Structure 1
Amino acid sequence: MIPLLWFAAFVAALIFLMALRIPVAVSMGLIGMAGTMVFVSPRAVVQIANLAYSQTGSFVLVVVPLFVLMGEVIALSGMGASLFRAAALWLRRLPGGLAIGTIAACTGFAAVCGSSPVTAATMGALSVPEMVRRGYSRRLALGATAAGGTLGIL
C-alpha cells in the first residue's frame, strides 16, 4: 500500500476508536503499535512495552508529585496570594502585568524543576485562580500559564 493510503487508514481507525469512546491516549497507543507492526516488525512492539516500563521506573519522575505538592502547599497556605498581591502592585502600570508576572514566575520555577508539565501544573494551580480573582479573563490566565509552562524544558 502507498504511504498516503496507510495514513488514511490509520486516521480512520483512530477516529473510529475515539467514536467508540475509547480514551485518546489508548486509541493513539493502539494505532501506534499497529503502525509499528506494519512498518517495522511485530517483534518491535515488545521493545515499545519494555521502553514504556523502563521509563516509569526513572528517578526523574519521582520529583513530579513533590513539586506539585509544593505548589499546592504554597497555594493553600496563602503565600501564593501574597506573592500575587505583591506582583500586582509591582506590575500594575503594565498592561497585562500579572500575566507577565506569571510568565516570569514560570521562568523561575522552570529553572528549578526543569519539567514543562510540572511547571504548567504547579503554576497553574497557583496563578490561574489569582488572575481570575483579579479580573483577568480565564482564557488569558490559562494562556499565560501554558506559555510559561513550556519554559520548563529549556
Structure 2
Amino acid sequence: MNPTRKRRLLLILALVAAAAIATALVALALQRNVAYLYTPSEVLKGEAGEQARFRLGGMVKAGSFQRAPGSMEAHFVVDDGDATLPVSYTGILPDLFREKQAVIATGRMQGDVFIAEQVLAKHDETYMPKEVADKMGAAHKKHDVPTPGSAQ
C-alpha cells in the first residue's frame, strides 16, 4: 500500500473512532439527565427502580401538607387515586403549590419516602407533554377535580 494512502486510511479511522467516542459520551450524559415520570402506584410496584432518579407525579393529598415553623423542610403526600407516597422537600415551594393540586417532584426514594430535589406545581399554561397530561388527567378523574374545559 502506498504510504500516502496508508496515512489517509489511518486518519479516516482515527476520525471515525473519535466521532464514535464523542457520540457515546453525549449519549451517556443525556441518559444521566433523563428522569422518567411515575405515579405513586407505579413506584410502589417497583417500576421506578431502587436508586434511580425520577419524577413523581400526582395530586397533593388534602390535609397532608406539613411544615415546621421556621423550617424550610416540607412534608406532604402525593396521591394518584390508587396509592399514596410521602414526600419530603427542603426549599421554597412554588407559589401555585397547594393541597388537591397536581404536582411533579423530581428526586429519589430513600426508604419509604420520596426525597424531592425539585417540586413543580400545575400552572395555567395550556401546553403539557402528552405523558404528563395523560397521567394528570387520570389523577384528576380519580379525585373529582375539574379540569380546564370540562363541564362540571
TM tier relative to shorter chain: under 0.3
Point out the structure with max Rg over C-alpha.
Answer: 2
Q: Decide which structure has greater strand share.
A: 2
TM-score norm. by structure 2 comes to 0.27
Question: What TM-score, normalized by structure 1, do the two folds share?
Answer: 0.26
